[in-house]
Amino acid sequence: MSHKKEHRKALEAHVETREEQVQLAAYYRWQENGEQHGRDLDDWYEAEKSCCD
């Protein structure tokens, strides 16, 4: 397993609140989209829509 995947799995194990879940999902979206600056709100809103239902 890659270091990135191990780190992701460890973080997910410690997430407790919905806000933390959205924050983590937004962070992963940001990474997956090439770490583009200036798109933080887009990543956050998309994470809110797809997370925690």
Distance separating alpha carbons of residues 41 and 50, to the nearest angstrom: 14
Instruction: Give the model's pLDDT for residue 8.
Output: 73
The answer to whether the pTM exceeds 0.85 is no
* Each residue's pLDDT tens digit, 2-52: 777 777 777 777 667 888 889 889 999 999 999 989 988 999 999 999 876
Task: Give me the torsion for CA of 52, 32, 36, 12, rounded to 10°.
Answer: 40
Instruction: Give the model's pLDDT for residue 38.
Output: 92
